[in-house]
Chains A and B, each alone.
Chain A
Amino acid sequence: GAVVSQHPSWVICKSGTSVKIECRSLDFQATTMFWYRQFPKQSLMLMATSNEGSKATYEQGVEKDKFLINHASLTLSTLTVTSAHPEDSSFYICSAREGAGGRELFFGEGSRLTVL
């Protein structure tokens, strides 16, 4: 299947700082990428849909000014958690489909964020 790479795998930061997470499709072009968040022992919750060359679409309850998404190219989407707080500590996972007609969603390795 298609390969999605995410970086960093884990990050620890101080409260009030910003953290950027990168998501790359390595062997295919992804016009759309999806960002999920997973708290311990809970399922994946969709945060936003990232569209290449246009603004991201955020799910209800997700602050777009706090979670900045940039999809500047067909292989790269970034999520920036601005002014992070301890409650933002979570497992952030990006995903993408291979091609416009692809049905299967492939996930990056995930990024575990811990805000002190």
Chain B
Amino acid sequence: QKEVEQNSGPLSVPEGAIASLNCTYSDRVSQSFFWYRQYSGKSPELIMSIYSNGDKEDGRFTAQLNKASQYVSLLIRDSQPSDSATYLCAVNGQAGTALIFGKGTTLSVSS
């Protein structure tokens, strides 16, 4: 069974710090990897996608992918209280299929 694992947290960081979120996946043929942010009571919002090994940066967010280790991470620099949310890691195998989600990591940024 295809699985996506995340530490549920909560992960607590002070404002301005770097938050590091990690995710591992079981399906070695996975091709696409995503990070979604979900505020309480809201639907997920896509914040990062990554498809090849290495780093991808977008503003304060950096996604890192290591397919050999089946590991994907998200770094949030200069964390803000508004970043407090649950971050969902999602993985896609074959094109056109649904995403498999991890259980999410709750991030709390204190001011």
Residues on A lying within 8 angstroms of B by beta carbon are 1, 6, 32, 34, 36, 42-46, 49, 91, 93, 95, 97, 100-101, 103-110, 112
Contact = CB atoms under 8 A, between A and B. Distances in A.
B43 A105 contact: no
A110 B43 contact: yes
B54 interface: no
B98 interface: yes
Interface of B: 32, 34, 36, 41-46, 49, 51, 88, 90, 92, 95-104
A6 B46 CA distance: 17
Given A43-B101, A43-B102, A100-B96, A108 B51 contact: no
A66 B103 CA distance: 25
Contacts of B41: 112
